[in-house]
Structure 1
Amino acid sequence: MEFNVPAFRPHQFANRKRNIDKAVNGLIGILSGVTADTKLNQNELMYLNIWLKSQSSLRDDPDAIDLLDLIADVVEDGAVSSEEMHDLLTLCNDVVTYRSSEDEGIYEAKINEFLGVLQGVVADGSVNRQEFDFLIGWLRENDVVEDDWLVEQVVSRANQIMSDGIVTQGELTEFGDLVKQLTGYQFNETGSAECSSIAYLEDSIEKIEQDSLICFTGTFVSGSRRILEGLAVSKGLKPKNRITKSLNYLVIGELVTPDWRFQSYGRKIEQAVKYREEGIPIKILSEKNWTQLID
């Protein structure tokens, strides 16, 4: 009797471990963010519930299971009491305290946690003063990430807000809008709790010049990367597999790829952003914009 045994692929196990680590760090960040003002509201509760359910890497995680079970109990009768919210808040804080003590203080882990914090503080669609102060405190305690381009955007805006010693509601609203852009927040519009910072990176492009060098990254709705590269060739473009200073365009797929280095942007995107900061004119566009431009 013959059995078809799948080939052993060590990288699959490495990717799975990496995805679990990313999800756990994201969970720590989100829990820290939603509890930053020491209370939970209905929108934050629903955001947390949907985010947890969307994380396949946490399906067997005991803390995620406990949180989902408690959330289910809290919303079962359609009314959330102050005691139930207190129990959930306590569990969130306990998970943060326990999981943060694990040996995961490396740069990559902290970036994933930072993205989670951003998602958490804006989970209900706005950032209040306590959440703003919490985020500033988190950044001061985790200066290992200070050179990350995403962190720099937040720090720069926060410094502008605090420069006169007064934080107004208008400034908090603008800051919340920035956080939404950076995380791709669309929970109120679509009910999705995914984190995707593509909108903030995208350039305004009306035409793609022929003979340009183009690179595709991420997972695409419109087809495989090979299909898209073939389409690019038919339009007079030259596909490349990596980011170089001579690259003209980077196209990012609409679907979030869990194996990317960080939650919502990968090494190619990170490299392209760094080159742009050096003055290299690499243009970044979404799959949606790319599709519109080549039609």
Structure 2
Amino acid sequence: MDTFSTETLSMQVLMGILEGISCDGKITLQELDTLKQWMDDNMHLKGNYPFDTIFCSINRVIEDRVVTSDESRELIGLFNEFLSPIKAKNVTYLNLSGKKVCLTGNFINGTKGEIERLIITNGGETISGVTKKTNIVVVGGEGSKEWSYGNFGTKVKKAMELKSNGIDIEIIREEDLFNLIKMNDSA
């Protein structure tokens, strides 16, 4: 049986709260007050992406006790970055040549070993973990039941943390990888 740490379980609760707050496309002061109270009660998450970013953003917004439509849109965008980091992307600007690529999840188009060989054949290098030197994280189309955050796991979370700190790292879907390879084959 899979068990998650207290930190991971708390982050899962935070995800649920953010989904609930943003599901109607607008954010109220009451919702932010409730979120702030929960975050105040869960300061053990301080230093854990995206806790600090969200905490600072909501404190800035509720300071004047008014949530403008621009602030609501900004917060929904911030929440969605955390809730759904894996979106379809136009990868025409990407090139695998010389790139360090990390795979996560289970893949539809082959085993991880087969996907790794495909990346190497197309000039990339595969690595097992996400670091500052990682260029691309490819998320398998089947996902994984072991992902800590439901729709993504610790490798994607680490990539999001690095990205938020200015590291140039792309998170793409398996489908995007295959579109990129097809595009490069036809060039």
- Could you state the TM-score of these two structures normalised by the residue count of structure 2? 0.78
What secondary structure sits across from 1:198 in the alignment?
A: coil
Q: What residue is the counterpart of 1:189 in the other structure? A: none
Structure 1 residues 277 and 179: CA distance shift in structure 2, 3 A: closer
Contact map agreement 2:96 2:119 (CA 8 A) in 1: no
| Counterparts of residues 48-63 of structure 1 (less than 5 Å) | none
Structure 1 residues 116 and 203: CA distance shift in structure 2, 3 A: farther
Q: What residue is the counterpart of 2:19 in the other structure? A: 119
User: 1:227-282, CA deviations, whole angstroms, 9 ceiling, x for partnerless residues?
Assistant: 21121122121112222343322112244422123333322223334444555433
| CA RMSD, 1 decimal | 2.9
Structure 1 residues 172 and 250: CA distance shift in structure 2, 3 A: same
Whether 1:146 and 2:46 are equivalent positions in the alignment is: yes
In the alignment, which of 137, 142, 159 is matched to residue 37 of structure 2? 137
Instruction: Pick the structure with more helix per residue.
Output: 1
Structure 1 residues 126 and 224: CA distance shift in structure 2, 3 A: farther
**Percent of pairs with identical residues:** 24
In the alignment, which of 257, 266, 271 is matched to residue 144 of structure 2? 257
User: 1:112-136, CA deviations, whole angstroms, 9 ceiling, x for partnerless residues?
Assistant: 1111111222334443332222112
User: 1:124-149, CA deviations, whole angstroms, 9 ceiling, x for partnerless residues?
Assistant: 44433322221121111111112121
C-alpha distance in 2 between matches for 1:256 and 1:209: 22
Structure 1 residues 133 and 216: CA distance shift in structure 2, 3 A: same
Aligned residues: 182
Q: What residue is the counterpart of 2:113 in the other structure? A: 226
- Could you state the TM-score of these two structures normalised by the residue count of structure 1? 0.53
User: 1:174-219, CA deviations, whole angstroms, 9 ceiling, x for partnerless residues?
Assistant: 32343234323xxxxxxxxxxxx324xx897612141222111123
What secondary structure sits across from 2:50 in the alignment?
A: helix
